[in-house]
């Protein structure tokens, strides 16, 4: 694997899931693989899970890890080609990414969308510039449009928990939130589930359709109750509008997942990538109950990252 920015970078997702499950049983088996190799983790946005699980994954593989909150600790980055840098930006990404490439063997980068200009965000300009200028393999720690390490961990979790001998019904349901949230997790989850052996249904209020490139293998409905019928897994997530880009179109009354809605399902396992707004997106009763898989998902982030780093290390 030369980079990990979307499901398209994975030749066989079943093999990668099995690799993650194998690493979960044998976390230190490949401790020699990362010896004298350095992972750089660059954050332009906050993180708890991605930061700690990816560090742990790298340490399990014997790697050195350097972490930088570039938005707070680095020089203000210029990303425009040909910019006359007589304003507030101090360092061009051409040098910054290339310097990081000198210090590291693999580079992870987190950069959320600004949610102001859809074309700018969906062109993944910053991620592409890191790929172009760093000169080393890049791992997305969540980009403007996708969160592939999360989606891989989610697929690992579904693989572990799915009912035996059945293609599981997986429902991705929109949930309310207090502010505009990127589409990344929902896009990525839809994209990965579209390649997995599951029946995928996406439900959201009118106006919240995701970009078609991510939902090609899904049934999409605005009737949440209908969608939830017989579900084996319910993945709860808010996202802002893609069509009316970055806007919140409704407060989403009645869309929060709770035990009443859970009763419509096949005793579904409930998933969320975290952080979650309790009693806005998901009720306490679900998060504190036995159907919640949120901690298992978070735990599997380590082995998802470890599988990806192992695959990349094997190519160095």
- Residues at the binding site for carbamoyl phosphate are 47-50, 75, 110, 147-150, 273-274, 301
Please say which residue, 250 or 296, places its beta carbon nearer to ligand CP: 296
Where is the binding site for N(2)-succinyl-L-ornithine, in residues? 142, 177, 237, 277
Q: How many CA atoms lie within 13 A of 81 on its CB side?
A: 5
Please say which residue, 19 or 142, places its beta carbon nearer to ligand CP: 142
Determine which residue in the list 18, 47, 69, 195 makes contact with ligand CP, applying CB under 6 A. Answer: 47
As measured in angstroms, the least distance from the Cβ of 142 to ligand CP is 6
Determine which residue in the list 161, 274, 285, 291 makes contact with ligand CP, applying CB under 6 A. Answer: 274
Where is the binding site, in residues? 47-50, 75, 110, 142, 147-150, 177, 237, 273-274, 277, 301
Residue-wise DSSP of 24-66: HH-TTTTTTTTTT-EEEEEESS--SHHHHHHHHHHHHTT-EEE
The piece of 46-54, 241-249, 250-258, 280-288 that touches ligand CP (CB under 6 A) is 46-54
Among positions 134-153, residues that touch ligand CP (CB under 6 A) are 142, 150
Please state whether 139 falls in left (phi above 0), alpha (psi between -120 and 50) or beta: beta
Please say which residue, 106 or 227, places its beta carbon nearer to ligand CP: 106
In degrees, rounded to 5, the angle at the alpha carbon of residue 309 between the alpha carbons of residues 308 and 310 is 90
Listed residue (49, 259, 243, 268) closest to 158, CA to CA: 268
Please state whether 252 falls in left (phi above 0), alpha (psi between -120 and 50) or beta: left
Tracing tokens 């080393």 back to the chain, one arrives at: 136
Cβ-closest position to ligand CP:
50
The piece of 173-181, 189-197, 268-276, 277-285 that touches ligand CP (CB under 6 A) is 268-276
Should residue 50 be labelled a site residue for ligand CP when binding is judged by CB under 6 A?
A: yes
Residue-wise DSSP of 224-263: HHHHHTT-SEEEEE----TTTTT------TT-SB-HHHHT
Residues that bind ligand CP (CB under 6 A): 47-50, 142, 150, 273-275
């Amino acid at each position: 694997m030369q980079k990990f920015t979307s499901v398209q970078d994975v030749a066989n997702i079943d093999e990668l899931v099995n690799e993650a499950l194998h690493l979960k049983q044998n976390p230190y088996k490949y401790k020699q693989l990362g010896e004298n190799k350095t992972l750089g983790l660059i954050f332009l946005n906050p993180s708890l899970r991605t930061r700690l699980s990816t560090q742990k994954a790298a340490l399990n593989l014997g790697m050195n890890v350097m972490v930088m909150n570039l938005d707070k600790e680095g020089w203000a980055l210029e990303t425009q080609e040909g910019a006359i840098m007589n304003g507030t930006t101090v360092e061009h990404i051409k040098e910054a990414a290339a310097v990081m490439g000198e210090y590291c063997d693999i580079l992870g980068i987190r950069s959320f969308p600004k949610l102001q200009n859809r074309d700018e965000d969906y062109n993944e300009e910053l991620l592409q510039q890191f790929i172009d200028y760093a000169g080393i393999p890049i791992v997305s720690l969540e980009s403007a449009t996708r969160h592939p390490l999360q989606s891989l961990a989610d697929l690992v979790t579904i693989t572990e928990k799915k009912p035996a001998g059945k293609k599981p019904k997986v429902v991705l349901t929109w949930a309310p939130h207090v502010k505009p949230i990127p589409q990344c997790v929902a896009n990525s989850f839809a994209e990965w589930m579209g390649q997995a052996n599951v029946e995928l249904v996406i439900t959201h209020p009118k106006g919240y359709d995701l970009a078609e490139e991510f939902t090609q293998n899904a049934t999409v409905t605005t009737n949440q109750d209908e969608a939830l019928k017989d579900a084996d897994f319910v993945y709860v997530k808010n996202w802002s509008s893609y069509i009316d880009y970055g806007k919140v179109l409704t407060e989403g009354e009645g869309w929060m997942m709770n035990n009443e809605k859970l009763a419509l399902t096949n005793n579904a396992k409930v998933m969320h990538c975290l952080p979650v707004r309790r009693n806005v997106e998901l009720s306490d009763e679900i998060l504190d109950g036995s159907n919640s898989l949120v901690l298992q998902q978070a735990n599997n982030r380590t082995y998802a990252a470890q599988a990806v780093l192992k695959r990349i290390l094997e190519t160095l």
